[in-house]
Amino acid sequence: MGNVNPQRRGYLSGIGAYLLWGFFPLYFKLLRPAGPIEILAHRVIWSAVTVVAILFAVRRWQAIRELLHKRSVIAQIGLAAALIAVNWGMYIYGVNSDQVVETALGYFITPLLAVCLGVAVLKERLRAPQWTAAAVGAVAVLVLTVDHGRLPWIALTLAASFGMYSLIKKRLGLPAVDGLFFESVLLAPLGLMFLGWLATRQPSTAITHPATGVLLLLAGPVTAIPLLLFGDATNRIPLSALGLLQYLTPSIQFGIGVLLFHEPMPPARLAGFGLVWIALAIFTWDGIRSVRNRANRLRTAARTAIDPA
C-alpha cells in the first residue's frame, strides 16, 4: 500500500482489522477444549513469536533499541499491554461461555467511548453527520442494554479496556509493529509462567488435543495481523472515525451469535441492531462526501495556482 493516500490507507487498515475481529468467534469456538486463561497465554506467547519474526523481516531492531531508552513510552506501552490482555481474556471467556451477543454489545459500546475520548481528550471535532451517527449509535446501545435485562459486565469490561487501549495507541503514535512487539514481549513471560504452572496440574490441551494445539499455535498470526492493521489505522485517521468504523466488528459478531450459534434475537435486539447499521450508513455517507469535497478543493486550488487569473 506504498502508493495509497495515507488517510485512505488508514481507513483500509481499520476496516481490515475490524472485519478480521468480527469473525473471531468462529476461531475461538474451535479452541473450547482449552480454558480461557490457557488460550490467552497461548495468544500472548505466539503473538510475541510472530512479531519477532516480522521484525527480523523488516529489520526494525534499531528503532526498537531506541525505544528502550524512552521510559515514559515503555510505561504507556505497559499499560496498553495490560488493557489488551484484559480485553482478550474477557472476550475469550464471553465466546466460550456462549455469550457472543454480549461480547458484540461490548464492541457496540466501544466506538461510542472512542468518539467521546477523541473529542474530550484529543480535542477532535466531529461534523454534524458524525454527531448524528454517534447519537443513533448511542440509542442503539441503550436499546440493546435494556433488552439484555441486567448489567452487561462482560460488555462493559470489553468496551472500557479497548477504548482506553485505542486512546493510548493513538497518543503514542508508534509504528504498528513496534508497539505490538513491546506489548507481546511484556505479556509473554506471564503466559509462559501460567502454562508452566498449568502443566504441573493437568496435561496440556495442545498435547491431549493435537488439532486444538495447531489452532493454538496459529493464535500468534491470528492475533498479530489485525492488531498490526489496527495500529496502522490509529496513526492515520482520527480516533473518532476509528471508533465509528469499529461497528463493523460487533455487527459481524452479532450475526454469528444469532445465525450460527442460535443465541436469542428478540424484537428489541433486532431494533438495536438495525439502528447500528443506520449509524454506519450515515458515517459512511459522510466519509465519502468528505473525501470527495477534499479532492474537489485540492483540484480547485491546483487550478488556481496554475492560472491565478
Q: How far apart are CA 274 and CA 269, in angstroms?
A: 9
Q: How much is the pLDDT for 305? A: 61
**Residue 14 or 307, more confident:** 14
Picking from 28, 241, 243, the residue whose alpha carbon sits closest to that of residue 141 is: 243
Q: Express each pLDDT in 211-246 by its tens digit.
A: 888 999 898 889 888 888 887 887 788 766 776 777
Q: How much is the pLDDT for 309? A: 53
Within 8 A by CB and 6+ apart from 263, the residues are 98, 99, 100, 101, 257
Band (4; pLDDT cuts 50, 70, 90): low
Angle among Cα 32, 34, 37 to the nearest 5 degrees reads 115
**Residue the block writes with cell 460488555:** 155
- 276: helix, coil or strand? helix
Number of domains present in the structure of the chain: 1
- 261: helix, coil or strand? coil
Band (27; pLDDT cuts 50, 70, 90): very high
Q: Express each pLDDT in 168-182 by its tens digit.
A: 887 887 777 788 888
Average pLDDT of the chain is 83
Picking from 82, 273, 45, the residue whose alpha carbon sits closest to that of residue 162 is: 82
Q: How much is the pLDDT for 223? A: 86
**Residue 5 or 211, more confident:** 211
Q: Express each pLDDT in 60-106 by its tens digit.
A: 788 788 888 888 889 999 999 999 999 989 999 999 888 898 888 88
Band (35; pLDDT cuts 50, 70, 90): confident
Residue 222 lies in a domain: yes
Q: How much is the pLDDT for 2? A: 52
Burial of 264 (0-12, 13-18, 19+ CB in 10 A): exposed
Share of the chain above pLDDT 90, in %: 17
- Return the minimum-mean-pLDDT range out of 30-39, 190-199, 282-291: 282-291
Tallying the residues shown for the chain, one arrives at 309
Band (113; pLDDT cuts 50, 70, 90): confident
Residue 119 has pLDDT above 70, yes or no: yes
Rounded average pLDDT over 47-60: 85
Q: How much is the pLDDT for 19? A: 92
Are the C-beta atoms of 11 and 237 separated by less than 8 Å?
yes
Q: How much is the pLDDT for 105? A: 82
Are the C-beta atoms of 250 and 108 separated by less than 8 Å?
yes
Rounded average pLDDT over 49-63: 84
Q: Where are the beta strands (DSSP E) in 20-87?
A: none
| Rg of the chain in Å (alpha carbons) | 21
Residue 308 has pLDDT above 80, yes or no: no
Residue 3 lies in a domain: no
Highest mean pLDDT among 5-9, 39-43, 138-142: 39-43
Residue 1 lies in a domain: no
Q: Which domain holds residue 194?
A: 9-306
**Residue 4 or 62, more confident:** 62
Rounded average pLDDT over 13-37: 89
